[in-house]
Amino acid sequence: MGDIQYAGLSFEQVVQKYKNTVGSVCVMRLNSHSDADDCFQNTFIRLFKKSPRFESEEHLKAWLIHVAINECKRFQRKNRPYISIENSNDAIVSFPQEKCDMSWALFELDTKYRDVIYLYYCEKYKVNEIALILNKSPNTVKTLLKRGREKLKILYGGVDSE
pLDDT tens, residue by residue, 11-31: 999 999 999 999 999 998 888
> Who contacts 68 (Cβ-Cβ below 8 Å, separation ≥6)?
22, 25, 26, 29, 39, 40, 43
pTM above 0.85, yes or no: no
Q: What phi and psi, each to the nearest 5 degrees, are found at residue 9?
A: -115, 145
Q: Is the dihedral of CA 118, 124, 130, 134 positive or negative?
A: negative
Residues pairing with 6 in the sheet: 9
In Å, how far from its chain's centre is CA 77? 17
pLDDT, tens digit (0-9, with 9 covering 90-100), for 96-117: 344 345 666 777 888 889 889 8
Q: CA–CA distance from 129 to each of 41, 76, 133, 141 (Å)?
A: 24, 25, 6, 10
Question: What is the structure's pLDDT at 95?
Answer: 37
Instruction: For the chain, list the domains and their CATH numbers.
Output: 1-85 (1.10.1740.10), 97-162 (1.10.10.10)
Return the closest-CA partner of residue 102 out of 31, 161, 152. 152
Distance CA 133, CA 115 (A): 10
Distance CA 79, CA 23 (A): 19
DSSP state of 9: B
For the chain, what is the radius of gyration of the CA atoms? Answer: 17
